[in-house]
Amino acid sequence: EPREVLLRLYGAILQGVDSLVLESVMFAILAERSLGPQLYGVFPEGRLEQYLPSRPLKTQELRDPVLSGAIATRMARFHGMEMPFTKEPRWLFGTMERLPQMNLVEMYSLKDEMNSLRKLLDDTPSPVVFCHNDIQEGNILLLSEPDSDDNLMLVDFEYSSYNYRGFDIGNHFCEW
């Protein structure tokens, strides 16, 4: 039995039974495939997971060629996952549709921009894959005691879903 665990309490992002069940299933699958910390238990307000002696990366470390290569390898493994969730890329447009319709500039139409983006993405050969959707320095841990040569661990999967692979890669590079 582990002597140290991490108690994670859910915040406002995960609301409703469906979200909690999907998050728990996703976390368990990622843990089983060594793409996330081990899952020890789930309860309505949170979960117990493996404590990983580590520290989050610093922004400037994202540019380090060795770490950048390791991040790309992790991301590729993540993108290669088959998950039992809808394969429709809802995250990008779902997020945009939840934005309040603020008419700050009358000539700007969010709806028209979203339609243009949807058409552009339909015509772009960026496959829909399982994405982290938030690969920034705070969600990449540098392990103090790696089990293998792989010394990075992605964490915080609350935004993970099927999405355009290019979005996940581009979003990561925006963090540099």
Can you give the pLDDT at residue 10?
Answer: 78
Whether residues 110 and 37 share a domain: the answer is: no
Count of beta carbons in the 10 Å neighbourhood of residue 56? 14
The reply to whether 156 and 104 lie within a common domain is yes
Question: Which domain, by its residues, includes 148?
Answer: 53-174
Last residue of a domain, one of 14, 36, 51: 51
pLDDT in tens, 150-159: 899 999 998 8
User: For the chain, how many structural domains are there in total?
Assistant: 2
**31 and 62 inside one domain:** no
8 and 76 inside one domain: no
Q: What is the block-wise mean pLDDT of the chain (176 residues), using blocks of 10 residues?
A: 90 67 91 94 90 95 93 95 86 67 58 83 87 94 83 92 90 84
Whether residues 27 and 112 share a domain: the answer is no
Residue from 37, 42, 133, 41 nearest 91 by CA: 133
